[in-house]
Structure 1
Amino acid sequence: MATTIADAQNIFIQCYQCGVCSGSCPKSRVLPGFLPRRMLFQMINGFEERQLESGLGWECLTCGKCQVHCPQGIDIMGLVRDMRSKMTSRGVNGLVAHDSILAPMYSIMASPAIKPKKSMYLSDDVKTDPNSKTLFFIGCAPHLDAPFRDDVGFKGIDVTNDAIKALNLVGIVPAVLDDEKCCAHDYLWRGDRAVFEAFGRQNAAALQKFDTIITACPECYRTLAVEYKDLLGIELNVKHLSEVLAENIDKIKSKDRGEVTYHDSCRLGRFMNIYDEPREALEAAGYTVKEMTESREDALCCGVPTWVSCNDENKKIREQKLDYALATGAKRLVVPCPKCEIHLKCLQADLSEEGKYPIEIVNFATVMKESLEED
C-alpha cells in the first residue's frame, strides 16, 4: 500500500478518476465541499500549501472508510496523518475538545519521572499476577473517568475492572503495569510524532517482557500492535479483549439474554479487521446481535476522532449513528471502545437532545463481565 504522498503520485490519476473515497466518506455527507479526493489531488499536484493552510485535514474523521473501499489500495489515512504533521509544524492546529483538561494530564504523564500507579484503579475483587507473562494494558480509560463520569455517565474505572474480571472469569489472571504510560495514539494522529515516540520509548522496555498484551481499547490495540512496530521498531503480540473471549467461547455459557446491537469502532474494525470476534462472544453469551443499517466495513464512525473537530457536522454523524441503533429495536448498544462510548453518550446527555435516543449504551467489557458473572 502507498504510505506517503510521494508513493501515491504514480497511481493518483487512476485514484482521482474513481471518486470512491468521496462517495463513501461520512464527513462528505454533512460538510458541503469536504471531498477526500479533492484534498488528495491538491496535496499531490502542486497545491499543497493551499490545502495545508485551509486546515481541512483536521475535518477528516480518520475513520478509514474511504481506505477500505479504495480499489487502488492507497493509504489515505497515512496521507492525512502526514498532512496533519505538516499543518502542526505550520501552526495550523485542529480544535481539540476538552484540551484544557486533557492536555495538562498528558503533559504531566509525559515526564519519565512520573509513575501513574495504574493499580490504584483496580477494585479488591480483581485478580492480577505480577509474574504473569500476559499483560492487561489499562490505557487511559480510568483517567477519562473524572471529566466524563458526571457529565455523560462514562465510568472508565468500571470498564477497566470489568475487562479484567471478564478475563478472570475465563481463567486468565494478567499482570498490570503500575508505571504504564499512554500509548499516545491521539498525539500520533494529531501529527505530533515526537510526543508519540517519547511515550512509546518509555513503554517499550516494560511491554517487551510480556508474551501477550491484552487491551480493552481499540486505539491502544492498533497503536501497540501496528504503530509501535512500524514507527518505533517495537514488535508486540497484542490482542483485543474480544479476541481473547472469542478464543475462550467454551467457557461462556449461553442463555437467552435478549437483543443488542453492536457498534464497530473504526480502529478495531476497519483498522484491525476485528468484526466477528465481538459478535461471536456476545452470541455465545446468549445475545442476539441486531445489525445496524451500516455495519462492519461500512459502519458509521462515532464522529469525533482524537477529540478533534467536535462540531455540529460531527454531531450529525453521531445522530445518524444512534438513529441506526434505535432502528434495530435493540435496547442496548454495545461499544468496544471507551472513546466511542463517551462520544455517543455525550449526544444522549446533550440537553437539546434529551430523551431522543432511549437506548442504553454499554461497553463490551461490561456486557461480557455481567454475562460471565451470571453464569
Structure 2
Amino acid sequence: MGEPIRIKSLDPTLRNEVADLMKGFDYSNCLSCGMCTAGCVYSDLMEDHDPRKFIRKIALGMREELVSDPFVWNCNMCERCTVECPMGVNIAALTRAFRGKTAMPPGHLQIIADDHIRTGNQMAVEQIDYDETIEWIEELMQEDLKDPTFKIPLDVPNADFMFGFNAREIKHYPSELQTILNIFHAAKANYTLSSKRWDATNICLFTGKNDEFQEISRPLFEEAERLNPKEIIVTECGHAFRSTRMFARTFWKGKQFPVRHIVELYADWIKDGTLKPDKTRNVLPVTLHDPCNTVRKEGVSEPQRYVLENIVMDFRDMNPNGKNNICCGAGGGALAVAATKGQRMIKAKPKVDQLLATGATIGCIPCHNCIDQFNDMNKHYKLGMKIMHLSPLLEIALGLAEPE
C-alpha cells in the first residue's frame, strides 16, 4: 500500500496552471476509470508506468510528487492511452504541458533545442557543411543520370512544394536524401530546397517549451513565405511532420501553407500515373510500422499502405495497426536520453513480437526516430531483418536502384 496523501501538501492551483499550458486540450472530463492504463502497452512492462495515476496527481495538485515522478519523462507520448479513453482525454498533451514546466529536460534534449536555435538545425550542421553535402549529392546524381547539367533546385520561387527534411539526412544519411531526390527527379517534380532553413524537426515537441518550439519552427515558415511554394512536404520523420503541422495550425500567423507527409505525395504520384513502379522488383515480404506522430496523431494511415501495395509483391500488415498501432518505444524524446537505452529495449518487446508474427524479411519504417529504434531492436533481439524507410523501396520499384 502506498504512502497516504497529505491534504496539506496538495496544491489546488496546479490543475488550472497545467490546463492553461495545454492550449485547448481539456482533461477535466477524466472519469478515473483506468482505461488509459489498460490501453498503455507499457503499464505491465515498467514499474509505475501508469497514466491514470499521473492524471490523478495533477487533478489533486500533487506538485511535489510530480516533480520527481519518472512517468513524466518515461511516457512515450504515443497517445495509445487516449484511443481507449471513453472521454478522449489527451494524456500525451498533458504530459507535454507538465514537461514544459521543467527547468532542464533530461539527456540531450535541451542541447538539441539550443543547437537548433543557434544553427537552424538539430544536428548543428554548419552552412559550409550543408552546402558541400548538397554539392556532393548533386555530383553523384549528375553521374548517375549521365547529365552534367543537373542541378538540385535551391531557393526556387513559386515551386509546387518546398521540401523540409531531417538533419540526419545531411549529417548521417545523405544517401537517403539522394534517394528522395532521385524519386523527385523521376516524377519531374517542380520543387525546391531552401539553402538556409531546411530542417523540419523540432525537439521541443517533446520538451513542451512552447517559446522554444516557436523559435525553432518559425524560420522554416518564414522561408516558405519568401519562396512561396504551394505547400510544404515533410520527409519520413514523424516528429518533423507532427511539429510542422502543429506549428502551422497553432502558432503561425503568416501566409498559410498546407503541410503534407512525403508518403501522401508518393501515393498521389502513383495514383495519377506520374510514377509507374514495378512491384516485381521487390519480392521479399515487407511489413509496415505506423509511427505514432504520423498515424495516430495526424491521421495519415492509408497513403503508405497504398504505396507499399504498389511497390512490393508481399505486403504483410502488423496487428494491431493504424491508430491502434503499438508505439516502437522510442517516442517522446526517449532517443535523446542516453539512460533510456535499456528501457527502450524493454519497451520494444511488444513491437518485436508484432514483427516476428508477420514473418516479414523487411521492416518498412517511415520515420527517422522510429527507424533508429528499430535498428537497435534488430541488433538487440537478433532479428536478422532489413530495416528500411519507404523511399528506398520505391526507388527500387522505379528501377532507380537495385535490390540489395
- TM-score normalised by structure 1 residue count: 0.84
Pairing partner for 2:364 from 313, 322, 334: 334
Measured at CA, do residues 322 and 194 of structure 1 come closer, stay the same or move farther in structure 2, by a change above 3 Å? same
Q: Distance in 1 between matches of 2:395 and 2:307?
A: 11
Q: Distance in 1 between matches of 2:266 and 2:132?
A: 25
- 1:344 corresponds to which residue? 374
Stretch deviating more after TM superposition (36-45 or 73-82): 73-82
- Aligned partners of 1:127 and 1:168 also within 8 Å: no
- Structure 1 unaligned regions, length at least 5: 146-155
- Aligned partners of 1:264 and 1:299 also within 8 Å: yes
Post-superposition CA distance 1:150-189 (Å, at most 9, x none): xxxxxx2122221222222223141001111544521231
- Aligned partners of 1:141 and 1:160 also within 8 Å: no
- Structure 2 unaligned regions, length at least 5: 1-16, 142-149
- 2:8 corresponds to which residue? none
Query: Is it true that 1:229 corresponds to 2:249 in the alignment?
Result: yes
Q: Which amino acid aligns with 1:165?
A: N
After TM superposition, list the pairs within 5 Å mapping 1:15-164 onto structure 2: 16-17=32-33, 19-86=34-101, 88-89=102-103, 91=104, 93-96=105-108, 102=112, 105-106=115-116, 108-110=118-120, 115=127, 118-122=130-134, 123-124=137-138, 125=141, 128-129=152-153, 130-131=156-157, 132-143=159-170, 145=172, 156-164=173-181
Q: Which amino acid aligns with 2:277?
A: K
Stretch deviating more after TM superposition (58-67 or 197-206): 197-206
- Aligned partners of 1:302 and 1:343 also within 8 Å: yes
Q: Which runs of 4+ in 1 moved over 6 A?
A: none
Q: Distance in 2 between matches of 1:330 and 1:143?
A: 30
After TM superposition, list the pairs within 5 Å mapping 1:254-333 onto structure 2: 254-256=278-280, 257-258=282-283, 259-305=285-331, 306=333, 307-309=335-337, 310-333=340-363
Percent of matched pairs sharing the same residue: 19
The higher relative CO (CA closer than 8 Å, separation ≥ 6) is in 1
- 1:212 corresponds to which residue? 231
- 2:262 corresponds to which residue? 241
Measured at CA, do residues 144 and 77 of structure 1 come closer, stay the same or move farther in structure 2, by a change above 3 Å? farther
Q: Which amino acid aligns with 1:221?
A: F
Q: Any idea what SS the aligned residue of 1:333 has?
A: strand
Q: Distance in 2 between matches of 1:28 and 1:61?
A: 12
TM-superposed deviation, 1:127? 5.5
For these two proteins, the number of residue pairs brought into alignment is 351
TM-superposed deviation, 1:246? 0.7
TM-superposed deviation, 1:35? 0.7
Post-superposition CA distance 1:250-275 (Å, at most 9, x none): 33234333320001111111111111
- 2:396 corresponds to which residue? 370
- 1:149 corresponds to which residue? none
- 1:252 corresponds to which residue? 276
Q: Which amino acid aligns with 1:211?
A: K
TM-superposed deviation, 1:365? 1.4
- 1:179 corresponds to which residue? 196
Q: Distance in 2 between matches of 1:143 and 1:105?
A: 15
Q: Distance in 1 between matches of 2:308 and 2:114?
A: 38
